[in-house]
Amino acid sequence: MRLVILSLLLSLALPASAEIYKYLDAKGNPVFSNQPPEGVPVQKVEVSPTNTVAPQPPTQTQPLKQEEPERERYSRLELTGISGDEAVRANNGTFSVGVLIEPRLHPGHSLRLLLDGQPYGDASKAPLLQVNNVDRGEHSLAVEVMEKGQSIQRSAPITFTVQRAHLRSPHR
- Peptide bond just before 107 cis, omega within 30 deg: no
SS3 call for 10: helix
Q: How many CB atoms lie within 10 A of CB 165?
A: 13
List helix spans (H) across the chain: 2-13
**For the whole prediction, is pTM greater than 0.75?**
no
pLDDT value of position 117: 92
Q: What is the largest CA-CA distance in the chain?
A: 126
Where does CATH 2.60.40.10 sit in the chain? Answer: 76-163
Residue in 34, 51, 54, 53 with CA at minimum distance from that of residue 42: 34
pLDDT value of position 10: 55
pLDDT value of position 65: 55
Q: What is the pLDDT along the chain (172 residues), one digit of tens a residue?
A: 676 675 655 555 555 556 888 888 888 888 888 888 888 888 888 877 777 777 877 766 556 555 555 567 899 999 998 877 778 888 888 889 999 999 999 999 999 999 999 999 899 999 999 988 888 889 999 999 999 989 999 999 999 888 877 666 555 5
Half-sphere exposure in the Cβ direction for 24 (13 Å, CA)? 5
- Write out the H or E segment, with its range, that includes residue 162: strand 158-163
- For 20-136, where are the E strands, in sequence order? 20-24, 30-33, 43-45, 76-80, 88-89, 95-102, 109-115, 118-124, 128-131
**Domain 76-163's class?**
mainly beta
pLDDT value of position 146: 93
pLDDT value of position 38: 84
pLDDT value of position 12: 55
CA distance 172 to 153: 43
pLDDT value of position 171: 57
pLDDT value of position 9: 59
pLDDT value of position 37: 83
pLDDT value of position 69: 54
Measure Cα distances from 109 to 22, 67, 153 in Å: 66, 17, 10
pLDDT value of position 155: 93
pLDDT value of position 1: 67
